[in-house]
Amino acid sequence: MSDSTTFPSTPQSESITTRNRVFYDQLWSGAKLIRPQSFHTWKMFSGMAREAGRRLEIGPGLRPRLPLEGTDFFDLSSEAVRQLRRAGGSARTGSASDPLPYEDATFGLVCALDIVEHVEDDHAVLSEIARVAAPGARLIISAPLHADRWIPFDDLVGHCRRYDPDVFFAMLESNGFTIEESAGYGMQPKSSRLLDFGMRFLAWRPREGMWWYNNIFMPIGLMFQSELKFAPGTEHTRNLDEVLLICRKTG
């Protein structure tokens, strides 16, 4: 992993939390909040939210997937928290690497999309999620799979790892979560040439690169979202680059 694949203002000597905070504060400072109704997850997730009572979304940035009203949001970026609050959400600033500032068994639904791969101690993060989830609560969680598929994009967005599917599923089960459904997920660029060009452009002109991501590539990505195709269990997920899981706290 060369230095050229890391966002230029975040030296490798800094902690992963600090690097992620700098990257996402810069990303979100030039972005507008995209409301959850814009995503292909809305119909399913909003229905789950209505059934859940109190709910928590960890690390939504400016792309929340649960309803703004009635959801607690917890994010590393102060810029994201500021905009979530301005839009009517209840949001706190903090790192998923630290204990969550909520009481035990508080939430009937927890959403943590693209979070566990960003932190050094992913076991502690899952333990905290299990702590604040009420008995019978649902967990919506996603993660990138297969270490041998690591690409510069993983460096750029602050990933610590990709997961072996069996290891990731076992981690969830060891924290009391039963996997009910799974689907392919993610908005990682499919074209390696486009991705390489984007990486070079970000290294050369980071501010302009962020503008293009927020104002051009993200809206295009929203237009071409693929339908989520859920299936019971996890057997169909072995060849996916990223997986989205619906779990139930049963342990």
Instruction: Give me the pLDDT at residue 217, please.
Output: 63
Segment 58-114, tens digit of pLDDT = 999 999 999 999 999 999 999 999 999 999 999 999 999 899 999 999 999 999 999
Asked if 136 and 209 count as a contact pair (C-beta separation under 8 A), the reply is no
Per-residue pLDDT band for 135 (boundaries 50, 70, 90) equals very high
Please give the domain boundaries of the chain with CATH numbers for all domains.
3-249 (3.40.50.150)
pLDDT at 225 over 90: no
Considering the entire predicted model, what is its pTM? 0.83
